[in-house]
Amino acid sequence: MEKPRILILGGTTEARELARCLAEDVRYDTAISLAGRTADPRPQPVKTRIGGFGGADGLAHFLRDENIALLVDATHPFAARISHNAAEAVQRTGTRLLALRRPEWQPEPGDRWTPVESVTEAVHALGDVPRRVFLAIGRQEAFHFEAAPQHSYIIRSVDPVTPPLDLPDQEAILATGPFAQADEATLLETRRIDVIVAKNSGGSATYGKIAAARRLGIEVIMVERRKPADVSTVGSCDEALDRIAHWLAPA
């Protein structure tokens, strides 16, 4: 009998970890899909396809053509479009859908968070007075800060921001997480950062800057998540593996 086929929508540490666990599980035939945003993506432990599907329609066709039994949406919590497409595509095909989402970070005593609903709101929250900003939201939405050229920016991303930002005072740092709290504290201190703009991504890989900001008393403008689509959701790889076994390989 053919093994049930699983497709993981990836681009995150969790997706890769889940792929690693499923690669070792002979009950399933697992593949992962990446958007192709990163110039030099890390190798994946299972068959990998790269590039968009062509919207919800394209994804629905792919699920049918490839006879996918389970779609796991393990994309980044801020990758809203692909998650929306996944929810729509499975409605058309009847494929099971499981979302793997890291829990959000919660503020702790000592945190100085200014919550905002979008990156554009974060730009306004910086205010008019020039500040030294650590921009840690990835490269795709960094262009919004061209509307606030009075600030100095340290911009960290995996790949360079393209096209280059039209900002008079900026420094680019190219780096891939995880980032240790001590290193983040050094960066914040040496660059004399007085405000961080971050997305509430959750997980440990990028939490170092949040913990370092708390210790140093630095404000964090925190872009909060939008409410996700109403799909069956787990918060860790172990939970995902349990759910997958329950759905696809009942005892």
Q: Which residues bind ligand NAP (CB under 6 A)?
A: 9-12, 33-35, 37, 52-55, 58-59, 75-76, 78-82, 85, 138, 140, 199
Phi, psi of 62 (to 5 degrees): -60, -45
Looking at the Cβ atoms of 32 and 193, the one nearer to ligand NAP is 32
Closest approach, Cβ 227 to ligand NAP, in A, equals 15
Taken in order 235, 240, 243, 247, the sign of the CA dihedral is positive
Phi, psi of 115 (to 5 degrees): -75, 135
Looking at the Cβ atoms of 152 and 206, the one nearer to ligand NAP is 206
Contact by Cβ (8 Å): 59, 85 = yes
Looking at the Cβ atoms of 75 and 95, the one nearer to ligand NAP is 75
Closest approach, Cβ 130 to ligand NAP, in A, equals 26
Which residue's Cβ has the minimum distance to ligand NAP?
52
Residue of 72, 103, 65, 56 whose CA lies nearest to 8: 72
Only one residue has tokens 């504290």, namely 185
Closest approach, Cβ 128 to ligand NAP, in A, equals 27
Looking at the Cβ atoms of 52 and 160, the one nearer to ligand NAP is 52
Closest approach, Cβ 97 to ligand NAP, in A, equals 14
Closest approach, Cβ 245 to ligand NAP, in A, equals 23
Per-position DSSP letters for 50-81, written without gaps between them: ES--SHHHHHHHHHHHTTEEEEEE-S-TT-HH
Amino acid at position 218, single letter = I
Looking at the Cβ atoms of 6 and 59, the one nearer to ligand NAP is 59
Task: Tell me how far apart the alpha carbons of residues 222 and 199 are, in angstroms, rounded to a whole number.
Answer: 6
Looking at the Cβ atoms of 27 and 81, the one nearer to ligand NAP is 81
- Looking at the chain, how many residues does it have? 251
Strands 29-34 and 5-9: parallel
Looking at the Cβ atoms of 37 and 191, the one nearer to ligand NAP is 37
Closest approach, Cβ 137 to ligand NAP, in A, equals 7
Structure tokens at 77: 């919590």
Residue of 40, 38, 20 whose CA lies nearest to 28: 20
Closest approach, Cβ 70 to ligand NAP, in A, equals 15
Cis peptide before 163 (omega within 30 of 0): yes
Q: Give the Cα-Cα-Cα angle 83, 24, 8 (nearest 5 degrees).
A: 10
